Amino acid sequence: MVKAYGQEHVYKHPWERVTSASWRKFSDPENKRTLSHIVEVDTLNHKLDPESGKLYTTRAITVHAPGPWFVRKIIGQDICHCVESTVVDARTKSMQLTTRNISLQKFLEVEEKIRYDPHPDNPNEWTVCQQETSIRIKPLSALASMAEKVEQKCAEKFMQNSAKGREVMERMCKYLEAESRGIAM
């Protein structure tokens, strides 16, 4: 059983600024309070292809276990390790992030894909973000009998967290905009 949902958001900021904000989303101390589900972010690898202008990044992201409290109770863990792979193409201006859980895989698989592209109606000023999340409870796991409920609760939680993520992104974009104009905040 797979539950998938998508969201779209338009940032009234250029692609360069929005993707810069995306890198700073987890590292800025002020955001840590808002994004309290993020425990730790570590860069594992950066690879730059100087010919094509593509940057490949792998990060380890530790989050508080997804879903409602009874899921944490069943799986007996309250943190979950994820791997995020990012490809930024500076030439075509696209950024794609894919995040998957690597722990708790015998219970559930969560995959989140985010893309940032210049908005077709105003490519120099706006950026469109497309987000797709899929949640799959493993059929033979302890969670299987209540899979639908768990998926629903997980989806709600992810929606809340992505709303927080947007809020942080908007704040970072404003900050970077002010910084680029030389105004200290």
Partner 1 sequence: MRITKKDKRDQSSTSPCAHLRAAYHNCFNRWYSEKFVKGQWGKEECEHLDDKHLSRFLEAEIVPSDLGKPVDGVSQ
Task: Determine which residue in the list 7, 9, 16, 113 makes contact with partner 1, applying CB under 8 A.
Answer: 16
Do the Cβ atoms of 15 and 146 come closer than 8 Å? no
Residue 92 binding partner 1, by CB under 8 A: no
| Member of 10, 48, 102, 178 binding partner 1 (CB under 8 A) | 48
Binding partner 1 (rule: CB under 8 A), the pick from 33, 50, 181, 185 is: 50
Site for partner 1 (CB under 8 A): which residue of 3, 19, 116, 162? 19
**Backbone angles phi and psi of 40, in degrees to 5:** -160, 140
Dist CA 27 CA 9 (whole Å): 22
Residue 78 as a binder of partner 1 (CB under 8 A): the answer is no
Residue with tokens 């722990």: 103
Under rule CB under 8 A, which residues in 119-178 are in contact with partner 1? 176
CB of 51 to partner 1, least distance (A): 9
Concatenate the DSSP letters of all residues of 19-63 into one string.
HHHHHHTTT-HHHHHHTTTEEEEEEEEEEEETTTTEEEEEEEEEE
Contact 36, 49 (CB under 8 A): no
- The binding site for partner 1 (CB under 8 A) comprises 15-17, 19-20, 23-24, 27, 40, 42-43, 45-46, 48, 50, 53, 55, 88, 90, 176
